[in-house]
């Protein structure tokens, strides 16, 4: 059984026990851990996952990168069984540790890294990628700057998708890069992109903004007849 079945409203007992276990072991994090599986979290993550899953882009050979992955709640148990590997990056070491206890998957890595400062080789692998960032409001660097920083040239054409969320909840602690409309949020994306789905997700504290799409690759034909591809060079 899937650990979380969003469409059939089912939650695996073992997964729930892992959440109870970490809240017992890390009492100072209990509220935060339970926030990550709150009703609003299910609503916004379900929008993202429904869009991505119904679009048909997910396949067994692709890799998923999650930026600001927190406890990996909801996204990891749904996506990990469907893809080759997931890389979850968060600057909070303890959050990564807790995430790795909650989510027991051989193909998921929780890494303590700030991708706005450190380049990571997974961005350069010759596989299709889905880049998820639902923590955009916490990260100062805009998505197009981060993508440009992490861009690589590859010999193989590949598909690079993004699924990103931000919100207009400026009065919440830690929210340093909020947006106030989908149009403003689109200006944070790499310039060459194709939006597949865009949505506003209202909740009692404000509005979450969601963009799902594909980054158009830049193609370079070299003098020796070879072709190479990148996804970040032509950003704004
Ligand atoms: C409150 S959580 C997630 C909020 C988000 N709205 C969501 O629903 O997924 C924000 C996470 O972003 C992480 N974070 C903040 N700045 C970061 C950065 N530069 N790189 C990676 N993670 C970062 C924090 O450590 C935290 O775990």
Model confidence at 9, pLDDT cuts 50, 70, 90, reads confident
Q: How many helices (H) and strands (E) does the chain have?
A: 7, 11
Query: Is 134 among the domain residues?
Result: yes
The count of structural domains within the chain is 1
Query: Is 94 among the domain residues?
Result: yes
Query: Is 139 among the domain residues?
Result: yes
Q: Is 94 helix (H, G, I), strand (E, B) or coil?
A: helix
Give the model confidence (pLDDT) of 178-206 as tens digits: 999 999 999 999 999 999 999 999 999 99
Closest CA to 3 of 22, 21, 17, 23: 17
Distance, in Å, from the CA atom of 94 to the CA atom of 187, rounded to the nearest integer, reads 32
Q: Residue 97 sits in a domain of what CATH number?
A: 3.40.50.150
Residue-number span of the structural domain to which 35 is assigned? 4-230
What is the residue-averaged pLDDT of the chain?
A: 95
Query: Is 236 among the domain residues?
Result: no
Query: Is 203 among the domain residues?
Result: yes
Which pLDDT does position 23 carry in this prediction?
A: 95
Model confidence at 2, pLDDT cuts 50, 70, 90, reads confident
The closest-lying atom of ligand 1 relative to the alpha carbon of residue 71 is 27
Query: Is 197 among the domain residues?
Result: yes
CB-ligand 1 contact for 177 (6 Å cutoff): no
Give the model confidence (pLDDT) of 13-67 as tens digits: 999 999 999 999 999 999 999 999 999 999 999 999 999 999 999 999 999 999 9
Considering only CA atoms, which residue is closest to atom 11 of ligand 1? 68
Model confidence at 233, pLDDT cuts 50, 70, 90, reads low
- DSSP code string of 155-181: SS---EEEEEEEE--TTSTT--S--SS
Strand boundaries in the chain, DSSP class E:
4-5, 10-11, 63-67, 85-90, 108-112, 129-133, 160-167, 193-203, 206-215, 218-221, 227-230
The closest-lying atom of ligand 1 relative to the alpha carbon of residue 67 is 21
Distance, in Å, from the CA atom of 121 to the CA atom of 24, rounded to the nearest integer, reads 36
Model confidence at 234, pLDDT cuts 50, 70, 90, reads low
Q: DSSP state, 62?
A: -
This prediction's pTM: 0.96
The closest-lying atom of ligand 1 relative to the alpha carbon of residue 117 is 19
Considering only CA atoms, which residue is closest to atom 12 of ligand 1? 68
Tell me the best of 40, 68, 89 to mutate to test the pocket of ligand 1, counting ligand atoms within 8 Å of each CB and taking the most: 68
Going by DSSP bridges, is the β-strand pair 160-167/193-203 parallel, antiparallel, or unpaired? unpaired
CB-ligand 1 contact for 87 (6 Å cutoff): no
Query: Is 235 among the domain residues?
Result: no
Query: Is 187 among the domain residues?
Result: yes
27 phi/psi in degrees, rounded to 5: -60, -30
Which pLDDT does position 160 carry in this prediction?
A: 96
Name 63's bridge partners. Answer: 85, 129
């Amino acid at each position: 059984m899937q650990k979380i079945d969003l469409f059939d409203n089912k939650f695996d007992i073992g997964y729930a026990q892992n959440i109870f276990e970490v809240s017992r072991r890390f009492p100072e994090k209990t509220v935060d851990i339970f926030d990550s599986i709150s009703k609003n979290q299910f609503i916004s993550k379900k929008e993202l996952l429904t869009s991505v899953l119904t679009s048909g882009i997910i396949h067994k050979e692709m890799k998923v990168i999650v930026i600001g992955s927190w406890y990996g709640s909801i996204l990891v148990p749904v996506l990990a069984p469907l893809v080759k590997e997931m890389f979850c990056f968060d600057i909070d070491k303890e959050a990564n540790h807790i995430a790795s206890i909650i989510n027991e998957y051989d193909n998921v890595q929780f890494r303590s890294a700030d991708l706005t400062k450190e380049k990571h080789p997974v961005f350069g692998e010759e596989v299709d990628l889905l880049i998820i960032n639902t923590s955009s409001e916490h990260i100062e660097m805009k998505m197009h700057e981060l993508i440009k920083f992490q861009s690589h040239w590859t010999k193989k054409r590949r598909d690079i998708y993004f699924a990103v969320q931000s919100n207009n909840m400026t009065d919440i602690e830690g929210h340093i890069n909020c947006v106030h409309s989908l149009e403003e949020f689109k200006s944070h994306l790499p310039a060459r992109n194709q939006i597949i789905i865009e949505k506003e997700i209202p909740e009692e504290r404000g509005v979450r903004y969601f963009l799902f799409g594909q980054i158009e690759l830049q193609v370079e034909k070299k003098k020796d007849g070879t072709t190479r591809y990148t996804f970040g060079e032509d950003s704004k």
